Amino acid sequence: MPYEMILTETPAPGVGLARLNRPQALNALNSQITREIFDALEAFDRDDSIGCIILTGSDKAFAAGADIKQMADTDAVGMMGDDFTDWSRMSRVGKPIIAAVSGWVLGGGCEMAMMCDLIVASETAKFGQPEISIGIIPGAGGTQRLTRAVGKAVAMEVMLGSRNLTALEAQTAGLVNWVAPVETYLDEAIQLASKIAEMPRVAVRLIKDAVNKAEELPLSAGLDYEKRNFYLAFATEDKTEGMTAFVEKRKPQWKHR
């Protein structure tokens, strides 16, 4: 697939990697790069050889937010009609996505990272929602996902005070899975992705689906939802293989079915 603003590769078996590649604008998210990211994530999602996806940028910037120059001349109606606004495409990706982030992780960049399932950050990563500094508010989930991730007090400070969190602060607050030196964070994300890609993929998908529901449903409805996914796992060949392999004391051979 010919992309102009992102790069894609398969850095390890089962791992698909999409890289934002607009260095002159610190990977600012305009309509084209956003569309290309969602196209690439969906292509990896459809690809049977891929079990886990990594979304990354450069060491200097994962993304410095939505493209302010593009938004500057856009009014409310223009924003509503732009396919830039349809970020639900990312939520529908069934395979796990790891954000491997470094440098600026701001505004829409922070929101995009939070839409991923895990975040591996370099020590230089700076997380923020500075929209207030340009007279707007977060529009791709920042007020909701950041608050759920780090709690109201820190979220208010970040958004009202336009204060960036360091990688360690973000990890302590619960936003980031782990922090690694800038030289190795991507390799560590690839190792994690490889490990997930080796897991039985139907179970991986069912877990991602159920965990994401935990953010939306009351506990009783969430437990019912989990139970249905649990029963569904019992309809897979991998359930039979996994349990048989345990009893026979051998490594399971997953069919991802």
Sites of contact with ligand DAK (CB under 6 A): 25-26, 28, 64-69, 85, 87, 104, 106-108, 111, 130-131, 133-134, 139-140
Considering beta carbons, is residue 175 or 206 the nearer one to ligand DAK? 175
Shortest distance (Å) from residue 168 CB to ligand DAK: 19
Q: 3-class secondary structure for 181-245?
A: CCCCHHHHHHHHHHHHHCCCHHHHHHHHHHHHHCCCCCHHHHHHHHHHHHHHHCCCHHHHHHHHH
Shortest distance (Å) from residue 116 CB to ligand DAK: 15
Considering beta carbons, is residue 99 or 193 the nearer one to ligand DAK? 99
CB 102 within 8 A of CB 125: yes
Task: For residue 20, give the H/E element and its range.
Answer: strand 15-20
Shortest distance (Å) from residue 34 CB to ligand DAK: 8
Spatial strand order of the sheet with 118-122 comes to: 6-12, 15-20, 52-56, 97-101, 118-122, 178-180
Shortest distance (Å) from residue 68 CB to ligand DAK: 4
C-alpha–C-alpha distance, residues 185 and 38, integer Å? 23
Considering beta carbons, is residue 144 or 194 the nearer one to ligand DAK? 144
CB 192 within 8 A of CB 118: yes
Chain residue at closest Cβ approach to ligand DAK: 107
Which are the catalytic amino acids?
Answer: 66, 108, 111, 131
CB 124 within 8 A of CB 144: no
Considering beta carbons, is residue 122 or 236 the nearer one to ligand DAK? 122
Q: To the nearest 5 percent, what fractions of the chain are helix, strand and coil? A: 50, 20, 35
C-alpha–C-alpha distance, residues 55 and 32, integer Å? 16
Shortest distance (Å) from residue 110 CB to ligand DAK: 8
Sign of CA dihedral 88, 89, 92, 97: negative
Considering beta carbons, is residue 28 or 190 the nearer one to ligand DAK? 28
Question: Which residues partner with 6 through β-bridges?
Answer: 20
